[in-house]
Amino acid sequence: MTAFERKSVLRPVIVPYLFVIASSTRFARATGSMSGCRIANHYREKDLAMNQREFEAELRREGYQIFYGGLKAGEVNPEHAHDWDAHVMVIGGEITLTRAGKPETFRAGDSCSVSAGEMHAEHVGPQGVAYVAGRRATGG
């Protein structure tokens, strides 16, 4: 079994990265692998909206500060690390994270965690990406 769990489903219509966030997917927890990611796609926009609320509620319960953002189409952030833990849910467009030389693409309804200090690179898809993210300082 891979580090990612994937469900094949129809995806909602994706709007460019500037659209306003109004909804989230069920909080994705680490599957026991170092990548700490779990992909969970959803069947309808209604599911995405309901699940974004659940995702945000879980972030709050776990002590994360919530941010909303987006990146322009084709934007690339070379390999880097953060000094905080992050949980991210894509709500539109797509982004590819590369860790340990292994690229994984996340689309609307997918979520992922990135641990503090974990090296990763980001490459935004052709439509840009919109996301909701939780950030939590490490060590307390």
Strand partners, 73: none
- Considering the domain boundaries, does residue 2 fall inside one? no
Amino acid 124: pLDDT: 98
Q: Is the pLDDT of residue 35 over 60?
A: no
pLDDT band at 10 (very low <50, low <70, confident <90, very high): very low
Which residues does 122 contact at the CB level (< 8 Å), separation at least 6? Answer: 71, 75, 76, 77, 95, 96, 97, 98
Number of domains in the chain: 1
Q: How far apart are CA 29 and CA 48, in angstroms?
A: 17
Choose between 28 and 52: higher pLDDT: 52
Amino acid 100: pLDDT: 95
pLDDT band at 46 (very low <50, low <70, confident <90, very high): low
Q: Is the pLDDT of residue 43 over 60?
A: no
- The alpha helices in the chain, defined as continuous H runs, are 45-61
Range of the domain at 117: 37-137
pLDDT digits (tens, 9 = 90+) for 57-113: 999 999 999 999 999 999 999 999 999 999 999 999 999 999 999 999 999 999 999
- Considering the domain boundaries, does residue 19 fall inside one? no
CB-based contact 97:74 (threshold 8 Å): no
* CATH number, residue 109: 2.60.120.10
Q: How far apart are CA 64 and CA 140, in angstroms?
A: 11
The pTM of the full predicted model, rounded to 2 decimals, is: 0.67
